[in-house]
Structure 1
Amino acid sequence: MRKKDVPIVAQSTETTDWVSRYADEVSAESERRAPGKPVVVASGLSPSGPIHLGNLREVMTPHLVADELRRRGLTVRHLISWDDFDRFRKVPAGVSGVDESWAEHIGKPLTSVPAPKGSPHATWADHFRSAMEAALAEMGVEYDGISQTAQYTSGAYREQVLHAVRHRGEIDAILDQYRTKKPGKGADGGGQGAKGQGGKQQKPADEAELAAAEGSGAAAEEDGSGGSVGYFPYKPYCGACGKDLTTITAYDDDTTELAYTCEACGHTETVRLAEFDRGKLVWKVDWPMRWAYEGVVFEPSGVDHSSPGSSFQVGGQIVRAVFDGEQPIGPMYAFVGISGMAKMSSSRGGVPTPADALRIMEPQLLRWLYARRRPNQSFKIAFDQEIQRLYDEWDRLAAKVAQSAAGGEDAPAVLPADAAAHARAVGTAAGELPRTPRPLPYRTLASVADITAGQGEQALRILSDLDPEHPLDSLDEARPRFDKAEAWINTYVPAEQRTLVREGADTELLASLGESDRESLRLLVEGLDEHWSLDGLTGLVYGVPKTMAGIAADAAPTPELKSAQRAFFVLLYRLLVGRDTGPRLPTLLLAVGADRVRKLLGA
């Protein structure tokens, strides 16, 4: 076993999962390129706004591969480049504490833009990066963070910048092969915006023009062409106003003297590029430069990078021709959607972030959603009622895996890919993630949270009644899952769908009932004490209509019986909560309590 007894997830076979297959390729490729050295995988995120769940795929894809390699005993560096030296391109919509006055900062580096009002952080970049860092920590993602502001301003890339400038003719010739394409029509145009609003965004081709119009994609960025000195792959930030609205007017290759003027404030300046660190390479040169500088072997990219002239495609030529390096291997990843919402675009505001998801789901579930789908498969993350079905599916898988591990003749078969995805979700090479001691069904916890409305003692009573032989000693046994379910109820369930138990009996409805309905209610009330547990009440509410129909308790359901059960359930809901639907009836009955149930049912 490796550290903390975490096993290798899966060996490489035709039936194994996508992570292991990529790990095989990356391990072999790294050994070919740099024998005996750490394997380097990379992600890139721009803290230009909320870093959303689509951007999380930029991190999770290499993280899962890196973690598999660590399980095999290899040393791996997962680099996350925080593109905080990118320009602030527009004021994003829907960000609290931000108004149009932030427009005065457009063109400055993200680390020079003030944070939203009320933020504990000093800069725009720090504000949005910190939220992502906290989410990654909760999810167990191990990485080395690199601030591109720190890299550029410290002079770490100085030789690479001078090298790119010396070879600008070669770069220009490569880019010129694609300049017949208009930005947003298949070519992403270069510039640091390829990582968009917090990551190399995955835009289907039919959305490229829309993204360009929003100013949130790489299509909005220049590639270094069109200046008065011809093609130049470097963009200085103005020494007076700090913006990148600069035009290079002269450059001397021998002395590296560079002159520029600023369109924003009119400032002019002459500097020596060999000593100047207040600027950066344009994106289509910056990205391949970093591949070579860091020795990146594996890095995924969004589907927009599959188009001719995209940053990934052009970068592959530039890294070989100019920086004597190699392009990383890695998949194009598909987009991540949200149940009931359109494709995420952080420039429009209101897009869910990993922090939003982790408020309503445990990190294991969120990891599983990314681990079980190949990168080229799109999927959705549920913020609506679908989250309950996802949790049911996750719990069934966890139960099967546990039963399979226990062995025995009746142990269920678990597909290798499913078992691997589960193992990758519950922990990393460093060990298992913290988990809920008593992982009760999410839909049950949500119902209890809905009914109790923050009353912890009542919630504990109800949850203890679910299994009277094994009651909870405290709510901590059901946490953090209970807290996640409560947050979902309070945040994403509309007020009209919340459950409010009636204060008193609906005397008018009770008076209108026929003899059959009265008898059904009597049978239910009489059976409460004997069946006061989740399983017992489940059998009771389904069994009363069987008794009324004169059929055995274990009889197979018929269409007529199902209809009678539905009618009985509707009657109970109306008498208990004044609606035709609500939480699962056994949970609702436990929540209301036997004495109050009797009162509301007219007993």
Structure 2
Amino acid sequence: MPIVAQSSNETTDWVSRFADEVIAESERRAPGKKDVVVASGLSPSGPIHLGNLREVMTPHLVADEIRRRGRTVRHLLSWDDYDRYRKVPVGIPGVDDSWAEHIGKPLTSVPAPGGSAYANWAEHFKAAMVDSLGALGVEYDGISQTEQYTSGVYREQVLHAMKHRGDIDAILGQYRTKKGPGKKSQKPVEEAELEAAEGSGAAAEDDGSGSAGYFPYKPYCGNCEKDLTTVTAYDDDSTELTYTCSGCGFSETVRLSEFNRGKLVWKVDWPMRWAYEGVIFEPSGVDHSSPGSSFQVGGQIVGIFGGEQPIGPMYAFVGISGMAKMSSSKGGVPTPADALEIMEPQLLRWLYARRRPNQSFKIAFDQEIQRLYDEWDKLAAKVADASVLPADAAAYARAVGTAAAELPRTPRPLPYRTLASVADITGGHEDQSLRILGELDPERPLASLDEVRPRFDKAQAWINTQVPAEQRTVVRAEPDTELLVSLDERGRESLRLLLEGLDSHWSLDGLTTLVYGVPKTLEGLDADARPTAELKAAQRSFFALLYRLLVGRETGPRLPTLLLAVGVERVRKLLSA
């Protein structure tokens, strides 16, 4: 079922506010026009990471809100696959130093990594993002800039830019002496802040200046295919253009009115597209806020093409917490595909929807993912009982589906931390997992693992890819007799009380009551006694003892889940002298 649309008066979230502004701006620019155009741009120069995803999710959420209000929206996603290949990324399987010979070529002219099923470098890295956007429910119109330029779609715009190169040069000249902030250094991946614009065409390039004058067009060499070219002459009337290549020494003269092997320099290309496509809304990364940046300069250049600069926020960094090195082989930075391996699409959408674009946030690959899931499940419960705040309800609705339909969801969403514990303890053994999960709630036993999928599969993937082997749970095969015989009277009594209560408390809630209740009984307290510092200390001591006897260390999965996983007979064996 589609999610019920909410008007901007019913919510106070950032998405609704931007939707209001975009609709108003669209009406101002073209009264009565039905289509609203929003845009994103991504460069498939390597793995497209979770920071880059903000470039797409921000306009997607705004576009989807506009659709919920009954308007037609086009979300254009420009694949900047005609950008130059700048460097050989590290850590890419199937890629070695020999790829350096392709630096300077269009991304679509660079071979794909070894073993890839795709035709070229750009298609290889685009494919993973296309799959992830599909899983996230993102609706868009993809545009290949290679196809646009090489088919001559932008020919009139290119000729127009060359004719008005003096005007463009004058605008750029106002900023050439101004320096923006230095490049933000990358932190290790475990604490990485992923610059959202890093994978877009916003990367630094020359602006077209040269000793022969200013030319906003850059040919790719007809001999070596690289952009190591310099325009040395251009005639407006005949459109004859002469260039030389510093890489291979090749030179030729072509008619630009017939020539399609080149592109406008980035600071001209971007505003040209705004005008050509009629873009109303497009966000930009923090690198665009400095003097002379692409977005700032583009706001002036776009007028040369008869257009207006889009409205849109500057968006902040996306951080990563705790991604294991074993999972960062795809270039050292986590991608949407990495995140979707360990979390459901709804949770990932929610992380982008609940924070304003100018707010940074972290995506958890470590134990924090369990807390995030707890928070998500609490929000779902509040939505169900109508106690949720309006802005939180809006973020939830945007996470679980789009204007078209809800995303597929886990039929019975058991707590992620419970599923992860079961996957950890059983090593992914399905029969064992079903037995344990089926005993969580005896009044409503689980009949099939399909009821907890895909969440269970995500939790299992998290255990397998993000939890180091030395931190995984291995249940003892034999009792620790040395520890058992060394226990004092209080320790032996605590085990006796636990073992006596197993049969009558054999469920997740029952065992929770039991393991917390044993120390209360030893302290002479009622079952509903309020926790004190002394009681908490006694409970921690008891828990540590159970962990040592069951798994050989003082911490582990939640004890009720662990006890269910071990099974009543084995628990009795391991806790009895």
TM range (shorter): over 0.9
Q: Does 1:47 align with 2:44?
A: yes
Contact 1:152 1:277 survives alignment (8 Å): yes
RMSD over aligned Cα atoms? 1.9
Contact 1:48 1:198 survives alignment (8 Å): no
Contact 1:10 1:416 survives alignment (8 Å): no
**Which aligned pairs between 1:117-516 and structure 2 lie closer than 5 A?**
117-182=114-179, 185=182, 200-201=197-198, 218=202, 220-228=204-212, 230-320=213-303, 322-340=304-322, 349-404=331-386, 412=387, 414-516=388-490
Contact 1:51 1:198 survives alignment (8 Å): no
Contact 1:52 1:198 survives alignment (8 Å): no
Kindly tell me: are residues 242 and 184 of structure 1, through their superposed partners in 2, closer, same or farther at Cα, counting changes over 3 Å? farther
1:116 maps to: 113
- In the alignment, the residues of structure 2 paired with residue 64 and residue 489 of structure 1 have an alpha-carbon distance, to the nearest angstrom, of 31
Give the partner amino acid of 1:509: L
Most deviating of 177-186 and 368-377: 177-186
1:82 maps to: 79
1:57 maps to: 54
Deviation string 1:367-422 (CA, Å, 9 cap, x unpaired) is 00000000000000000000000000000000010111xxxxxxx3x211100000
**CA shift at 1:300, angstroms?**
0.1
Deviation string 1:490-531 (CA, Å, 9 cap, x unpaired) is 001111211000010001100100111111101111111111
**CA shift at 1:558, angstroms?**
1.0
**CA shift at 1:333, angstroms?**
0.3
Give the partner amino acid of 1:446: A
2:572 maps to: 598
Report the TM-score, using the length of structure 1 for normalisation: 0.91
* SS of corresponding position for 1:444: helix
State the percentage of identical aligned residues: 79
Most deviating of 329-338 and 251-260: 251-260
Kindly tell me: are residues 69 and 220 of structure 1, through their superposed partners in 2, closer, same or farther at Cα, counting changes over 3 Å? closer
Contact 2:63 2:73 survives alignment (8 Å): yes
- In the alignment, the residues of structure 2 paired with residue 198 and residue 57 of structure 1 have an alpha-carbon distance, to the nearest angstrom, of 10
Give the partner amino acid of 1:402: A
2:100 maps to: 103
Contact 1:184 1:219 survives alignment (8 Å): no
- In the alignment, the residues of structure 1 paired with residue 335 and residue 546 of structure 2 have an alpha-carbon distance, to the nearest angstrom, of 39
Contact 1:45 1:199 survives alignment (8 Å): no
1:211 maps to: none
**CA shift at 1:308, angstroms?**
1.0
Contact 1:49 1:198 survives alignment (8 Å): no
Give the partner amino acid of 2:245: C
**CA shift at 1:9, angstroms?**
3.1
**CA shift at 1:306, angstroms?**
1.1
2:558 maps to: 584
- In the alignment, the residues of structure 2 paired with residue 186 and residue 243 of structure 1 have an alpha-carbon distance, to the nearest angstrom, of 26
- In the alignment, the residues of structure 1 paired with residue 231 and residue 171 of structure 2 have an alpha-carbon distance, to the nearest angstrom, of 21
Deviation string 1:559-602 (CA, Å, 9 cap, x unpaired) is 11111100000000000000000000000000000000000001
Contact 1:92 1:348 survives alignment (8 Å): no
**CA shift at 1:199, angstroms?**
6.1
Deviation string 1:151-193 (CA, Å, 9 cap, x unpaired) is 0001000000000000000000000001113576599xxxxxx
- In the alignment, the residues of structure 2 paired with residue 167 and residue 200 of structure 1 have an alpha-carbon distance, to the nearest angstrom, of 28
- In the alignment, the residues of structure 1 paired with residue 552 and residue 7 of structure 2 have an alpha-carbon distance, to the nearest angstrom, of 52
For structure 2, list consecutive stretches of 5 or more residues without a partner in the other structure: 185-193
Deviation string 1:302-328 (CA, Å, 9 cap, x unpaired) is 1111111110000000001x1110000
Aligned residue pairs, count: 564
Kindly tell me: are residues 561 and 327 of structure 1, through their superposed partners in 2, closer, same or farther at Cα, counting changes over 3 Å? same
* SS of corresponding position for 2:385: helix
- In the alignment, the residues of structure 2 paired with residue 94 and residue 279 of structure 1 have an alpha-carbon distance, to the nearest angstrom, of 30
Kindly tell me: are residues 453 and 593 of structure 1, through their superposed partners in 2, closer, same or farther at Cα, counting changes over 3 Å? same
**Which aligned pairs between 1:8-23 and structure 2 lie closer than 5 A?**
8-12=5-9, 16-23=12-19
* SS of corresponding position for 2:124: helix
